[in-house]
Amino acid sequence: MPTYNFSAGPAVMPTPVVQQIQAELPSFQDSGMSIMEISHRSQLFDQVINDAEQDLRDLMQIPANYRVLFFQGGGTLQFTAAPLNLATAHHHIGLLDSGHWASRAADEAQRTHTQVDILASAHATNYTTLPTLTQPVDPTLDYVHLTTNNTIEGTMYTQLPATGNVPLVADMSSNFLGQTYNVQDFGMIFAGAQKNLGPAGLTIVIVRDDLIGHAQNLPSMLDYQLFADKRSMFNTPPVFAIYAAGLVLKWLKAQGGLAAMQQRNQQKAALLYDFLDQSQLFRNPVEPAARSTMNVPFVTGDPALDAAFIAGATEHGLLNLKGHRLVGGMRASLYNAMPTAGVTALVDYLAAFEAAHTKGVLN
Ligand SMILES: *Cc1c(COP(=O)(O)O)cnc(C)c1O
């Protein structure tokens, strides 16, 4: 029986990539050493990190005036690093309150003594909609923080808010490379790798070069300018995670790039949403225009039935469908590496479960 991993993160990786890692693990490029054992200062690794950066630049069409940085510390560290590096003029940012991760970003920014204005919030709809700007943003804000995909709530921005000359800083952790955006529309993009790019331990930062280098006396490990100058090798970078992410980037190119990926993601998500919208038992609470193609939360409304569904799904090889502990219910994450066959298997099982549990109720 095939298994499908619907985890929100760390999440499914492309099978051919995992197999390639297995095949070349004992001896990377005939060096007699595994990738985990080679120096980050070696020629071998130089090629790995250069290819990863170039492939990412090709896939996202990253302009030359943007730096690509490889960090550790997860998406969460960037909640601290972004204000320290970019909120240097007024120590004052705006934020769209789209859910859990946006609110975590606000908390961490405040810990850096940055003033955070909530420009709009979806709190009133329990985050089943997206907050949007209704008035022009204060032009003195250092930047506006946006979470492009809300991993827990299952909402996703496809249209960006207009912030005038104020740079947008995007937490793209959960739809990085799964949805196309114009890099020029952002001052900075960051994403933890373990949702849609590779193993945990790596975070990508893409930042416009005129925005960095203005902060004084930052801790070295948080300093974007230093990381840019040192090509992300101020200290030992996460060598294995960069290598594995590099293989995923090559896989993405072979799949036809990000536009092809986005189209496939829309088709996969539509299979699931179409089922949920006609179901008598399951439902997705998110306003249709705000729905994520990456993370799809759904419920029956009865926690005992939800638990029975999750247990049965697991027995059928449909893994990690339990919803986030903050919201309960179920959540299916349909990242780039989730094949259409996985979504079809999920929909088939949803239909079978519904048939078994609504008999007698409907008639
Ligand atoms: C997972 C996630 C994070 C946190 O990522 P870590 O790598 O665990 O720090 C931040 N933002 C979003 C949108 C996420 O999905």
Per residue in 53-89, pLDDT (tens digit) is 999 999 999 999 999 999 999 999 999 999 999 999 9
Residue 171 known to be catalytic: yes
Which ligand 1 atom sits nearest the alpha carbon of residue 150?
13
**Structure-block tokens of residue 151:** 């991993």
User: What's the pTM value of the predicted model, to 2 decimals?
Assistant: 0.97
At 363 the pLDDT is 41
Alpha-carbon dihedral 205, 206, 209, 214, rounded to 10 degrees: -30
Mutation probe of ligand 1 site: the residue of 78, 97, 101 with most atoms within 8 A of C-beta:
101
pLDDT digits (tens, 9 = 90+) for 150-190: 999 999 999 999 999 999 999 999 999 999 999 999 999 99
Q: How far is the CA of 362 from the centre of ligand 1 (A)?
A: 41
Cα 324 from chain centre: 15
198 Cα: distance to centroid of ligand 1 (angstroms)? 13
The reply to whether 101 belongs to the active site is yes
In this prediction, residue 358 carries a pLDDT of 85
From 55, 97, 171, 306, active-site residue: 171
Residue 87 to residue 106: CA distance in whole angstroms = 13
Regarding the beta carbon of 112 and ligand 1, being less than 6 Å apart is answered: no
Tell me, using a 6 A CB cutoff, whether residue 173 lines ligand 1. Answer: yes
Q: Give the other-Cβ count within 10 Å of 19's Cβ.
A: 10
Reply yes or no on whether the pLDDT at 359 is more than 90: no
pLDDT at 326: 84
Question: Is 41 marked within a binding site?
Answer: yes
The structural domains of the chain, ordered by start, are 4-12+257-358 (3.90.1150.10), 16-254 (3.40.640.10)
% pLDDT > 90, the chain: 97
Let me know if 195 is a catalytic residue: yes
Task: Determine the residue type at 277.
Answer: D
What's the whole-number mean pLDDT along residues 211-222? 96
9 closest CA partner among 293, 335, 292, 248: 335
Which of the residues 195, 268, 306, 322 is marked catalytic?
195
Q: What pLDDT band is residue 361 in, cutting at 50, 70 and 90?
A: low
